Structure 1
């Protein structure tokens, strides 16, 4: 790099600025847990009510958001130090590998395949694949869906899993978004929507849907939600796990569940133990 000549006064100012930077709180890269760092970037979903949602006024709400804020606080960051970054399902591993985010809290199920690329803290929630149905309908087992219209989003395996394992005569309907499935359920175009029960509860808890839908409570699979961290950053994993344990102990976890899922009558599992993956 070429440097221009500077005056003695300018050099002194430049030296002072470097000293101030060196003594500051860093560049915001939390890495292995840079407590009290200037900024922390957290990956979340922007389009999942009850879990990770960016509202029209620019606020962020949901259970994943509440968990992320609590963990960040325990790592030494004020709420104003948090930068939330939209992290879609297909982009999560890449975002961690590139360092675009410090950790991800975004309905991120812990799987053996994903653990080859990233490390996980948690789990912090045990969800299940379930069905959302109209409040006046009754579905008590998977084969009740035979002959009925079952909705999920394009690219999801949830509806196909139900057809393969429980209701081979179900009629699959694929829409672009869960919101479209919800609209179809409301109009009668479909009879049920399937994905994780936490996601379904988040949608059903929205003001415009309260009392119109309910979860069937079938528990068709186990989904252990973890907090994704860059591969090899075990120090960060340990600090996040300690924060999650404290969140449960202080009952802040229970409050977050009730605040975000309560209106849907979500029968959540108790807070999982750190490292306990339910198959």
Structure 2
């Protein structure tokens, strides 16, 4: 028969064993978002555009499509995340730096042009696409045939974008800038005659012009006003993640997945893309 003292020692030993077992279980179920773990609960949050057909679009069914989505998904896979591990977050042009600085997203793939000003706040992997700034016009508008014709015209772009400012300062100083919250709003304004032109990257404009509901309504001017080097934004100083993303992008080009994504998303619009850029080489 156990003495009271022995019984107490046995109870304490059992209690200690239970505590240790719970501690071990907690350690083994860590949710860490390091790319290679096997946790069922790991997630990665990626910022993309929700309103850019061909680039980043959230469809009425809740699916996500576009070139940036394909690039982001491929990179995530190389980091150890399956599509079901991805949480998509809208990254509007004016919000991208803030999202990264606050840690709301792990990285951003959202037609994000690499510029010195932005590099002061965030770091970029890539570039992964070289686009060019262009202008979208109504199909029947023959009043704008050269960049300088944008003077005294109502020119639309989105808040936070570099495109409209580029036109205003370098090409058509008398252009009347109209800044909206998203490209869809600019497109509606262009369709209704509220604005005369929409300016942003040719890849984005081609995506819009190729949509079935806009067939025959718009045309690209073909001006090639600037070089836009799309990069993947990461938090400033996160060199480890930046390097991993760069390796993933190199692999995407090497195995043909990059060109397949270009053909899939831009092919229907007849968009003539530049070759895949070299990592770390920004064309000015």
Q: TM-score, normalised by structure 1?
A: 0.83
1:11: how far off?
6.6
1:101: how far off?
1.7
The answer on whether the counterparts of 1:123 and 1:277 sit within 8 Å (CA) in structure 2 is yes
Equivalent residue number for residue 210 of structure 2? 205
Query: Does 2:75 correspond to 1:55?
Result: no
Query: Does 2:184 correspond to 1:179?
Result: yes
1:21: how far off?
3.9
The answer on whether the counterparts of 2:155 and 2:176 sit within 8 Å (CA) in structure 1 is yes
Alignment of 1:12-51 (within 5 A): 15-24=20-29, 26-30=30-34, 33-34=35-36, 38-51=42-55
1:131: how far off?
0.2
Distance 1:248 1:179, change over 3 A: same
Aligned pairs, how many? 271
1:175: how far off?
4.5
Query: Does 2:251 correspond to 1:246?
Result: yes
- Rg: which structure is higher? 2
Task: State the Cα RMSD in Å.
Answer: 2.8
Select the residue among 117, 123, 144 that pairs with 2:121: 117
Q: TM-score, normalised by structure 2?
A: 0.82
Equivalent residue number for residue 141 of structure 1? 146
Equivalent residue number for residue 76 of structure 1? 80
1:156-209 CA-to-partner distances (Å, cap 9, x unmatched) read: 553353244333454544545422322232234433211222221222222211
- Cα distance in 2 for partners of 1:8, 1:56 equals 59
1:69: how far off?
0.2
Distance 1:232 1:252, change over 3 A: same
Distance 1:249 1:28, change over 3 A: same
- Name the SS for the 2:263 alignment partner: helix
Select the residue among 191, 196, 204 that pairs with 2:201: 196
Select the residue among 120, 123, 130 that pairs with 1:126: 130
1:219: how far off?
1.4
- Cα distance in 1 for partners of 2:191, 2:242 equals 42
Structure 2: runs of 5+ lacking an equivalent: 1-10
- Name the SS for the 2:116 alignment partner: coil
